[in-house]
Amino acid sequence: MPGEDNAMTPPTKTLFIAALITSLTACGGGGGGSASVATAFAKIDFESAPAITGAVVEAALQSGDIADLIDADPLGASGEIGTLGKTGRYYLGKLGATPGAGPAGWFQAQIGPLTLDCEAGGTVTLSGEQNDPNTPTSGDSISMSFDNCDSGAGETADGSFEFVIDSISGNLDSGEVVLSVAMIVSNLTLTDGSGTEFIDGRVNVEIDTSQPPQSSISVSGDSLTVGEDAVTRTLADFITRATTDSGIAPPAYTIASSGSVMSSEFDGEITYSTPVTFEGSGDDNPYVGEFLIRGDGGASIRLIALDNVFVRLLIDEDGDGAEDHTIDTTWDAIRD
How confident is the model over 14-24, as pLDDT tens digits? Answer: 223 223 322 32
Q: Which neighbouring-strand residues pair with 301?
A: 293, 315
The boundaries of the domain holding residue 78 are 16-30+39-334
Hey, which residues does 276 pair with through a beta bridge?
290
CA angle, 16 as apex, 304 and 262 as ends, to 5°? 75
**Burial group, residue 133, by CB count within 10 angstroms (0-12, 13-18, 19+):** exposed
162 domain residue, yes or no: yes
190 pLDDT tier (thresholds 50, 70, 90):
confident
In total, how many domains does the chain have?
A: 1
Of 219, 231, 226, 237, nearest in space to 201 by CA: 226
Confirm whether 9 is domain-assigned.
no
Name the pLDDT band for 116 (thresholds 50, 70, 90).
confident
Quick check: is 73 in a domain? yes
Residue 3 lies in a domain: no
Domain membership of residue 50 (yes or no) is yes
Whole-number Å distance between alpha carbons of 83 and 81: 5
pLDDT at residue 207, as a whole number:
87
The pTM (predicted TM-score) of the whole model is 0.75
- Residue 2 within any structural domain of the chain: no
Which range, 19-33, 123-137, 240-254, 315-329, has the best average confidence (pLDDT)? 315-329
Type and span of the H or E element at 59: helix 49-65
Residue 1 inside a domain? The answer is no
Cα 41 to Cα 266: distance, rounded to the nearest angstrom = 10
Give a yes or no: residue 4 inside a domain. Answer: no
pLDDT of residue 27 exceeding 80: no
For 36, phi and psi rounded to 5 degrees? -85, 155
Q: What is the pLDDT of residues 148-188, one digit of tens each?
A: 998 888 889 899 988 888 998 888 777 788 889 898 999 98
State the CB neighbour count (10 A cutoff) for residue 237: 17
